[in-house]
Each structure stands twice: as structure tokens, then as C-alpha cells.
């Protein structure tokens, strides 16, 4: 009798547990778990949805290695990521300026964060107008300060990448600034007091107190920025359509074109997997590097 | 006597230093603030100009005359009203759907004990690493086979189930004292009763934060609606705005008016609730 009772109790627990999980787990299987497996299998096929699917083994990956476009777009994607350190420096500087007890600080913080909540498409449109080579605000300004032949920005293969990087920095700093600000406010004031009693200069206390105390937030920002950097697509799509001459086409843009413009589902899936593996690898390396500083990480 | 004056001199020196420092900080803050504001102000200015007057050098900041018609023309050029309605329907359903499924699953992971619980949770965590670009192709193919492309189902369903929401809410639920559950069970409360009457009311701040960011994320999402919509009637605001750009690529007054139409609602809501947004970022970003 007792045995039966515990058994039914266990059964009851299982039923309750999975009843709560149910809705989420079903959706999770349909929209994440099975698609991941399907995508992996697709990577070894050639398929345009209409004609029968064809298994091609490793062909997609072999083609990928020889695909000059792929390497160029990978280079572009990595090039765009050069904006990450600039973004981090600017947002840390902004956070340190805001981390003062001054009147009107909240107004500045509100303004700095405005681009973050703004729709990316609208922001891209606005900047496309600012970058207009003849009548845009930026070139008018550059002309005014005496630069006779300002860059052609979005229609130049050299300047298109920096132009989009400026947009991503303008839109992204507010977010990182808030993360830095929260971390700065979490640093115990006594540490600074102790440093100033020891006669530390501003730079000393930044190097020995502030910077080490920011290592977790730095780690977080680097990881999330790299992950979203690998996924860059929207700004490129709206502002330049990947051009001129492919100079702003990213990996994800290439996946989008392959899958939804040219209906090469197999090839697109294989690129998506290579992208995933690169993202995973970078995260793993970062994680290992961070583990060396465990005492800070697990604090 | 001499000592006091020296002390006062030092105090005075320190005070001037403090004032200079303050001024310098305000100068830096303002320079950054202007950089952040100028694109918005320029958009507003252009949106109120006559079509011909945008091509002038040097650029004028104050439109002369003010042309409010640009807004009406932009609004009528493509079905912006429809885009708004679509965005509201999709964002609201995704937000409440996700809050519901994620909080149920988070309750199971945080409060119940059942076989494979921890292994399943690890599987959830692992999928947070997988980028949407991997799953979007098979999901698109399935939706196409079901003939769901260009419907609300395609826009909404994939957004409702996320590992991230489950993860964040689980962390929050873990911090609610377990004694509450036990005394509720003694009082004859069911598990669903505990979830509905105890855990959810106590988690309002976490639910509000997650809800806000899911809503904002869905509202601004671009790639998925771009892939699964074809007709103008089904487009959400960002995708609609992008196709508006495709049609009127050089009519800057209309384009800027359309941008203001899209930017203004979110910015207004944000400015009046900015404290809430700020708290939310920190919560979802680091502690989540």
C-alpha cells in the first residue's frame, strides 16, 4: 500500500511538472529543437523547396571554402566588429561622466539612451539622409569646416563600412553605458577612499580600482557584442542593400540572400552552421579567458 | 594667524578646482548629448520642409514655411495605419504569450521536482547559444508548407517560445521563499493556485521588465517579419517603413516624416517611463 502510494505520488509529480512545462516545451520543440536538427541535415543537401531534395554530402562546405564572396563577407562582418572597442570606450566614458552627483544628470542619461529604443529601420533612414553626399548634414558640415571633397560615404566602397559603424556606435553606446553605469555604482566607495588616502592619482584609482571591478561587465559586453556583431544585417539591408559592390554585405545578409532570394536552402543552412560554430568558438575562448579570473567572476 | 590664511587659500583653490571640473563635465556631457540629439532634430526639421528646400546649402534648421502636409502624404502613401495595427497585434500577442509560457515553464524549473528537470533546463540553456539564423530556414520552410506565410500565425508563433524568458523568470522565482508554497499546500492550494495566486503576483516587477523588452524587441524586430511577409497588408512597422523607403527613396521630406511617425510613439513612451527602462536594462542585462 505504501509502495503504491509513493509511486502514485511520483507519477503525480511528473504529471504536474510536465503539465507546467508543456506549452513551452511543445513550442520549444517545434520552433527550436527540431529546426536545429533539420537545419543541420539541410546543410548537407541541395534544395529549392520546389524540386525534390538532393543529398550532396560535404559539397556545400567544400563550395563554401572556395567561395570568394563568403570570405569577403566574413571579412566585412569582422571589420564591422572593430566598432566594438570604440563603442566600449565611448560608453565607459559616458558612464563615468554620468556617475557624478550633479544637477540634470538624469536628462543627459535619458538623451543618451534615446537611440537604443529607436527603431533600427527609422534610424537607418535618418542616417542615410545625413550621409547624402551632396545635401546631407554631415557633408555640409565637413564642407563648412573647409573640407573641399568630403567622402561619398554610402556610395564609396572605402567609406561605406566606417559610415555604418558610426551608425551602430551612435545607436549602441547608450545600452552599454547603462550596464557600465550600474557596475560603477556597485563599486564600494571605500575602495576609492582607501586609494585616495594612499595618495593615488585619478589614473591610479581608475587602473587599480575601477577597471578590475568592471571585468565582469566588460566580459558580458564583449560576448554579447560579438554575438550580435556576427548577426549584423538590418542596418546594412536598409542603408546600403549590402553595397556598393558588396562592401557592406555581411554573413547573415549572405544567408538571407541564399535562402530567401535565391532559394538555395541547403547552401544557406551550411553557412548558418559555420556562423554558429564561429560564434560558439569565440564565446568559448572568451569564457576560458574569463575563468582564469575566477575570483572576480564568481564573486 | 598665517596658518589660517594658508588653509583658507587652499580651500579656495580646491573650490575653484571643483568648479572647473564641474564645468568641464557639463561641457563633455553636452557635446555627447548634442551628438545624440542632432539626428533626431534634423529628422524633425526635414520632415516639416518643402520638398525643394531640402536641397540647399548651407542647410537650414528652421523650415520656412512649415509643411505639415508631409505627414498626411506619408501616412497615405502606404498603409501606415495597417502597419501600426499589425505591429500592435503581433507585439502584444507575442509579449503575453511569451510571459505565459515562460512563467509556467520557469515555475516548473524553479519550484517543482520531476525527473530530468535539470537536464532539460541545461538543454534550454544550450539553445540560447544557437542564433536565430540557424533555425529560421527550417521554420520558414515548414510555415511555407503549411501556407502560413504572410499570416499573423507566421509573425507571432515563433516569437512566443523562448529559452531566454524562461531562464530569466526562473532566476527570479528561485529568490521567492519556498515556505510560501508549503503553507499554501497545507491550506489545500493546488500547484496552479500557487503559481497563479502567489508566484505571479510576487513577480510583477520581473514580468513587467521581461514584458517591456519582449514588446520592444518584437516591435523593432526586422528580419523575421521581412522574411515571412509579402503583402503590404501584413507588414509590421519596420518592414513597412523599409518598403516605403524602396518606393520613395529620394523624397526626403516624406521619408523623414515617416521616420518621425515610427519613432515618436516609442520615444514618447520611453521618455515618460525612462526610470523603468533603466532599471529593466540592468535587470535583464546583468542580473538576469
Q: How far apart are CA A174 and CA B267, in angstroms?
A: 14
Q: What is the pLDDT of residue A298?
A: 43
Q: Residue A296: inside a domain, yes or no?
A: no
The reply to whether B180 touches chain A by the CB within 8 Å rule is no
Q: Are residues A108 and A194 in the same domain?
A: yes
Q: Are residues A27 and A104 in the same domain?
A: no
CATH number at residue B227: 1.10.3720.10
Contact A139, A150 (CB under 8 A): yes
pLDDT classification of A73: cutoffs 50, 70, 90: very high
> Which one of B27, B53, B138 would you mutate to disrupt binding with A, by most A Cβ within 10 Å of its Cβ?
B138
Enumerate the residues of chain B whose CB falls inside 8 A of the CB of residue A36: 127, 130, 134-135
Q: Are residues B105 and B88 in the same domain?
A: yes
Q: Are residues B223 and B160 in the same domain?
A: yes
If you average pLDDT over every residue of chain B, what do you get?
88
Please state, as a whole number, how many other Cβ atoms lie within 10 Å of the Cβ of residue B50. Answer: 14
Closest CA to B54 of A155, A129, A147: A129
Q: Residue B222: inside a domain, yes or no?
A: yes
pLDDT classification of A18: cutoffs 50, 70, 90: confident
Q: Are residues A56 and A90 in the same domain?
A: no
Q: Residue A100: inside a domain, yes or no?
A: yes
> Which one of A7, A9, A33, A35 would you mutate to disrupt binding with B, by most B Cβ within 10 Å of its Cβ?
A35
Among A210, A226, A249, residue at a domain's last position = A249
- Is the pLDDT confidence value at A58 over 50? yes
Residues paired with A46 in a beta bridge = A54
The distance of A22 to chain B (nearest Cα, Å) reads: 8
- Counting DSSP H helices and E strands in chain B, the numbers are 15, 0
Q: Are residues A126 and A236 in the same domain?
A: yes
CB pairs under 8 A between A and B: 258
CB spacing of A276 vs B134 below 8 angstroms: yes
Q: What residue has cell string 542603408?
A: A239
Residues ≥6 apart with Cβ < 8 Å to B256: A125, A126, A129, B43, B44, B46, B47, B70
Please state, as a whole number, how many other Cβ atoms lie within 10 Å of the Cβ of residue A147. Answer: 11
Q: Are residues B108 and B145 in the same domain?
A: yes
Residues paired with A54 in a beta bridge = A46
Q: Kindly report the CA angle at B91 between B85 and B96, in degrees rounded to 5?
A: 125
Q: Are residues B131 and B153 in the same domain?
A: yes
Q: Residue A72: inside a domain, yes or no?
A: no
Among B50, B70, B90, residue at a domain's last position = B70
- Is the pLDDT confidence value at B111 over 90? no
Residues paired with A45 in a beta bridge = A55
If you average pLDDT over every residue of chain A, what do you get?
89
CB spacing of B42 vs A252 below 8 angstroms: no
Q: Residue A240: inside a domain, yes or no?
A: yes
Q: Residue B267: inside a domain, yes or no?
A: no
Q: Are residues B64 and B180 in the same domain?
A: no
The reply to whether A231 touches chain B by the CB within 8 Å rule is yes
Of A27, A42, A144, the CB nearest to B160: A27
Q: How far apart are CA A2 and CA A13, in angstroms?
A: 17
pLDDT classification of B3: cutoffs 50, 70, 90: low
Q: Residue B275: inside a domain, yes or no?
A: no
Q: Residue A285: inside a domain, yes or no?
A: no
The reply to whether A211 touches chain B by the CB within 8 Å rule is no
CB spacing of A265 vs B241 below 8 angstroms: no
Among B36, B70, B104, residue at a domain's last position = B70
Q: Are residues B93 and B58 in the same domain?
A: no
B-chain residue closest to A258, CA distance:
B137
Contact A246, A77 (CB under 8 A): no
Domain enclosing residue B196, as ranges: 79-247
Q: How far apart are CA A13 and CA A18, in angstroms?
A: 8
Contact A173, A94 (CB under 8 A): yes
Closest CA to B100 of B61, B27, B18, B156: B156
Q: Are residues B17 and B102 in the same domain?
A: no
Q: What is the pLDDT of residue A28?
A: 87
The reply to whether A185 touches chain B by the CB within 8 Å rule is no
Q: Residue B57: inside a domain, yes or no?
A: yes
Q: Residue A272: inside a domain, yes or no?
A: no
CB spacing of B282 vs A217 below 8 angstroms: no
Q: Are residues A13 and A138 in the same domain?
A: no
Element (H, E) at A46: strand A45-46
Q: Supply A81's cell numbers.
A: 566588429
Q: What is the pLDDT of residue A1?
A: 42
Q: Are residues B238 and B120 in the same domain?
A: yes
Q: Are residues B101 and B203 in the same domain?
A: yes
- Is the pLDDT confidence value at A299 over 50? no
B-chain residue closest to A137, CA distance:
B59
Q: Supply A14's cell numbers.
A: 511528473
Q: Residue B280: inside a domain, yes or no?
A: no
Q: How far apart are CA B34 and CA B26, in angstroms?
A: 12
Enumerate the residues of chain A whose CB falls inside 8 A of the CB of residue B242: 121, 237-238
Q: What value does the mean pLDDT take over residues A210-218?
A: 88
Each residue's pLDDT tens digit, B53-100: 888 777 888 888 888 889 999 999 899 999 999 999 999 999 999 999
The reply to whether A253 touches chain B by the CB within 8 Å rule is no
Q: Are residues A135 and A228 in the same domain?
A: yes
Q: Residue B240: inside a domain, yes or no?
A: yes
Q: What residue has cell string 585619478?
A: A202
Domain enclosing residue A155, as ranges: 81-249
A-chain residue closest to B141, CA distance:
A49
Q: Residue B273: inside a domain, yes or no?
A: no
Contact A83, A169 (CB under 8 A): yes
Each residue's pLDDT tens digit, A25-36: 898 888 988 999
Q: Are residues B25 and B62 in the same domain?
A: yes
- For A168, A246, A288, B204, the CA distances from A165, given in Å and listed in that order, are 5, 16, 29, 38
Q: Are residues B134 and B115 in the same domain?
A: yes
Q: What is the pLDDT of residue A133?
A: 83
> What is the DSSP secondary-structure string of B75-95?
HHHTTHHHHHHHHHHHHHHHH
Q: What value does the mean pLDDT take over residues A133-148?
A: 86
Residues paired with A55 in a beta bridge = A45
Of B55, B114, B241, the CB nearest to A14: B114
How many folded domains does chain A comprise? 2
Among B53, B70, B87, residue at a domain's last position = B70
CB spacing of A21 vs B29 below 8 angstroms: no
Q: Residue B158: inside a domain, yes or no?
A: yes
Cα dihedral A246→A250→A256→A258 (10° resolution) = 60
Q: Supply A238's cell numbers.
A: 536598409
Q: Residue A297: inside a domain, yes or no?
A: no
Q: How far apart are CA A237 and CA B223, in angstroms?
A: 10
3-state SS class at A45? strand
Cα dihedral A66→A72→A76→A79 (10° resolution) = 90
Length of chain A: 299
A52 secondary structure, DSSP code: P
Q: Are residues A106 and A148 in the same domain?
A: yes
Each residue's pLDDT tens digit, B226-269: 999 999 999 999 999 999 998 888 889 999 999 999 999 999 99
CA A237 to chain centre: 16
Of B137, B227, B245, the CB nearest to A272: B137
Element (H, E) at A54: strand A54-55
For B57, how many CA atoms within 13 A lie in the half-sphere containing its CB?
13
pLDDT classification of B287: cutoffs 50, 70, 90: very low
Q: What is the pLDDT of residue B284?
A: 67
Of the given ranges (A179-188, A246-255, B48-57), which has the lowest mean pLDDT? B48-57
The reply to whether A192 touches chain B by the CB within 8 Å rule is no
Q: Are residues A163 and A227 in the same domain?
A: yes
Enumerate the residues of chain B whose CB falls inside 8 A of the CB of residue A125: 241, 245, 255-256, 258-259
Each residue's pLDDT tens digit, A220-276: 899 889 999 999 999 999 999 988 999 999 999 999 999 999 999 999 999 999 999
Q: Are residues B107 and B179 in the same domain?
A: yes
Q: What is the pLDDT of residue B2?
A: 56
How many folded domains does chain B comprise? 2
- pTM of the full structure: 0.90
Q: Are residues A10 and A119 in the same domain?
A: no
pLDDT classification of A297: cutoffs 50, 70, 90: very low
Q: Are residues A46 and A130 in the same domain?
A: no
3-state class percentages of chain A: helix first, strand second, coil last, to nearest 5? 75, 0, 25
CB spacing of A140 vs B59 below 8 angstroms: yes
Q: Are residues A41 and A184 in the same domain?
A: no
Q: Residue A181: inside a domain, yes or no?
A: yes
Among A220, A249, A278, residue at a domain's last position = A249
Q: What value does the mean pLDDT take over residues B148-172?
A: 90
Q: Are residues A110 and A239 in the same domain?
A: yes
B-chain residue closest to A254, CA distance:
B133
Amino acid at each position: 500500500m505504501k509502495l503504491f502510494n509513493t509511486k502514485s505520488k511520483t507519477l503525480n509529480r511528473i504529471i504536474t511538472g510536465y503539465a507546467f512545462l508543456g506549452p513551452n516545451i511543445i513550442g520549444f520543440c517545434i520552433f527550436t529543437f527540431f529546426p536545429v536538427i533539420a537545419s543541420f541535415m539541410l546543410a548537407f543537401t541541395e534544395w529549392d523547396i520546389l524540386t525534390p531534395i538532393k543529398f550532396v554530402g560535404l559539397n556545400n562546405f567544400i563550395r563554401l571554402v572556395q567561395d570568394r564572396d563568403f570570405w569577403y563577407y566574413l571579412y566585412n562582418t569582422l571589420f564591422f566588429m572593430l566598432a566594438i572597442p570604440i563603442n566600449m570606450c565611448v560608453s565607459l566614458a559616458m558612464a563615468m561622466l554620468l556617475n557624478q552627483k550633479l544637477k540634470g544628470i538624469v536628462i543627459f542619461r535619458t538623451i543618451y539612451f534615446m537611440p537604443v529604443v529607436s527603431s533600427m529601420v527609422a534610424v537607418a533612414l535618418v542616417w542615410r539622409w545625413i550621409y547624402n553626399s551632396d545635401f546631407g548634414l554631415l557633408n555640409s558640415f565637413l564642407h563648412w569646416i573647409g573640407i573641399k571633397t568630403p567622402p561619398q560615404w554610402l556610395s564609396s566602397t572605402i567609406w561605406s563600412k566606417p559610415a555604418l559603424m558610426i551608425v551602430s556606435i551612435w545607436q549602441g553606446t547608450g545600452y552599454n553605458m547603462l550596464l557600465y553605469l550600474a557596475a560603477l555604482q556597485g563599486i564600494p566607495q571605500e575602495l576609492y577612499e582607501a586609494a585616495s588616502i594612499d595618495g593615488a592619482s585619478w589614473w591610479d584609482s581608475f587602473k587599480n580600482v575601477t577597471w578590475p571591478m568592471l571585468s565582469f561587465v566588460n566580459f558580458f559586453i564583449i560576448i554579447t557584442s560579438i554575438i550580435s556583431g556576427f548577426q549584423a544585417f538590418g542596418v546594412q539591408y536598409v542603408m546600403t542593400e549590402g553595397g556598393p559592390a558588396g562592401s557592406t554585405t555581411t554573413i547573415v545578409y549572405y544567408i538571407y540572400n541564399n535562402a530567401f532570394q535565391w532559394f538555395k536552402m541547403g547552401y544557406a543552412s551550411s553557412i548558418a552552421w559555420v556562423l554558429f560554430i564561429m560564434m560558439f568558438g569565440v564565446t568559448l575562448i572568451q569564457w576560458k579567458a574569463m575563468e582564469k579570473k575566477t575570483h572576480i567572476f564568481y564573486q | 594667524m598665517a596658518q589660517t590664511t594658508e588653509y583658507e587659500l587652499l580651500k579656495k583653490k580646491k573650490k575653484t578646482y571643483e568648479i572647473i571640473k564641474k564645468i568641464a563635465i557639463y561641457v563633455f556631457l553636452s557635446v555627447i548629448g548634442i551628438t545624440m540629439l542632432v539626428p533626431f532634430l534634423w529628422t524633425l526639421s526635414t520632415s516639416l520642409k518643402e520638398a525643394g528646400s531640402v536641397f540647399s546649402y548651407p542647410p537650414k534648421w528652421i523650415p520656412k514655411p512649415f509643411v505639415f502636409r508631409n505627414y498626411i502624404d506619408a501616412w497615405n502613401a502606404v498603409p501606415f495605419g495597417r502597419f501600426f495595427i499589425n505591429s500592435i497585434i503581433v507585439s502584444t500577442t507575442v509579449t503575453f504569450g511569451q510571459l505565459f509560457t515562460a512563467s509556467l515553464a520557469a515555475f516548473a524549473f524553479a519550484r517543482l521536482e520531476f525527473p530530468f528537470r535539470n537536464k532539460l533546463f541545461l538543454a534550454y540553456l544550450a539553445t540560447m547559444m544557437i542564433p536565430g539564423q540557424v533555425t529560421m530556414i527550417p521554420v520558414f520552410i515548414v510555415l511555407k508548407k503549411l501556407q502560413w506565410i504572410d499570416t499573423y500565425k507566421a509573425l507571432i508563433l515563433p516569437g512566443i517560445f523562448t529559452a531566454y524568458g524562461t531562464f530569466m523568470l526562473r532566476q527570479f522565482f528561485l529568490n521567492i521563499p519556498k515556505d510560501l508554497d508549503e503553507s499554501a499546500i497545507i491550506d489545500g492550494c493546488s500547484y496552479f493556485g500557487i503559481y497563479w495566486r502567489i508566484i505571479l503576483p510576487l513577480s510583477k516587477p520581473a514580468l513587467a521588465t521581461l514584458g517591456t523588452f519582449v514588446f520592444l524587441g518584437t516591435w523593432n524586430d526586422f528580419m523575421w517579419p521581412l522574411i515571412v511577409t509579402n503583402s503590404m497588408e501584413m507588414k509590421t512597422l519596420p518592414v513597412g517603413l523599409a518598403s516605403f523607403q524602396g518606393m520613395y527613396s529620394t523624397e526626403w521630406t516624406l521619408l523623414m516624416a515617416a521616420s518621425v511617425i515610427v519613432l515618436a510613439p516609442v520615444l514618447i513612451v520611453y521618455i515618460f517611463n525612462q526610470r523603468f527602462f533603466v532599471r529593466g536594462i540592468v535587470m535583464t542585462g546583468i542580473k538576469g
